[in-house]
Amino acid sequence: MAFHDTTATQITNINLNVKDLDTMMTYYTNILGFKVISQTEDKAVLGIGNSGHTLTMNVLKDGRQPAASEAGLFHIAYLLPTDTDLANFLYFVANKGMRIGAGDHLVSQAFYFNDPEGNGIEVYSDRPSEGWTWNDGFVKMDTLEVDGPKLLLERTEDGWDGMPDNAKIGHLHLKTHHIEEAKDFYINQIGFQHISKLPQALFMSTNQYHHHLATNTWQSSKKREDNDNSYGLTGFDIYKPNQTEETLTSPEGLTVNLHSDQTKVPQA
């Protein structure tokens, strides 16, 4: 079963309020290689590969910077199709002198960094799902050191040329302020399944993926204040099969748009 096809509930669009659209556009097109779908003076929509997934950036003037203790974005995770793609990306950003973090999560290998306005980003590739370890319905994950030199053996001479066609939003990781409220909303109301156990965190998915959505209280202790007037993540879209369009407010104080538009998800 595919993890991001029309049968899987998944994140399809991310909404960010930004200060400087030109700087953000340069970053996301030149470094990450997103495709411009539309752009005006105060809004841009970027595509991730040919997945149908999008990043929407809205200019906000004289907004507020959320406190670190507020719920909001932990990171947006972009999934690359192969380890070769990840190796090419690693080589590219290393030569750019970018500061990045890394983690081998057993199910995947990932690199972490921030965009120019401080929004957390993860770029990763999955290990074959046949090798994932399961126990009583929960997948085993960890954070170990990435073997960078070994990964770089996978790179090609062509190198990184932007997001490949099969790239997509792999998952979204949120800061929340109350795990049980998040569990009630995302699992009981929207229909994700609890898929992995980690302290002060909730990892959720459908189709037995390691996670399409996660929340944690590692840094946050209160709900987002004045969401529409805040910089950073303001909301996201969730595709769910046979879902009537609906707009909800998450426990974090973010706007969640539910839909079943199959043109917004990767096609098999």
| pLDDT at residue 1 tops 70 | no
Q: What pLDDT is attached to residue 198?
A: 87
For the residues 139-153, what does the mean pLDDT come to? 97
For the residues 112-136, what does the mean pLDDT come to? 98
| pLDDT at residue 65 tops 60 | yes
pLDDT digits (tens, 9 = 90+) for 67-90: 999 999 999 999 999 999 999 999
pLDDT digits (tens, 9 = 90+) for 183-214: 999 999 999 999 998 889 999 999 999 999 99
For the residues 7-26, what does the mean pLDDT come to? 99
Name 268's Cβ contacts closer than 8 Å, sequence gap at least 6. 2, 5, 6
CATH number of 10-264: 3.10.180.10
Q: From CA 36, how far away is CA 201, in angstroms rounded?
A: 34
Position 60 confidence tier, pLDDT thresholds 50, 70, 90: very high
Name residue 47's beta-bridge partners.
35, 54
Q: What pLDDT is attached to residue 268?
A: 63
Residue pair 21/62 in contact by the 8 Å Cβ criterion: no
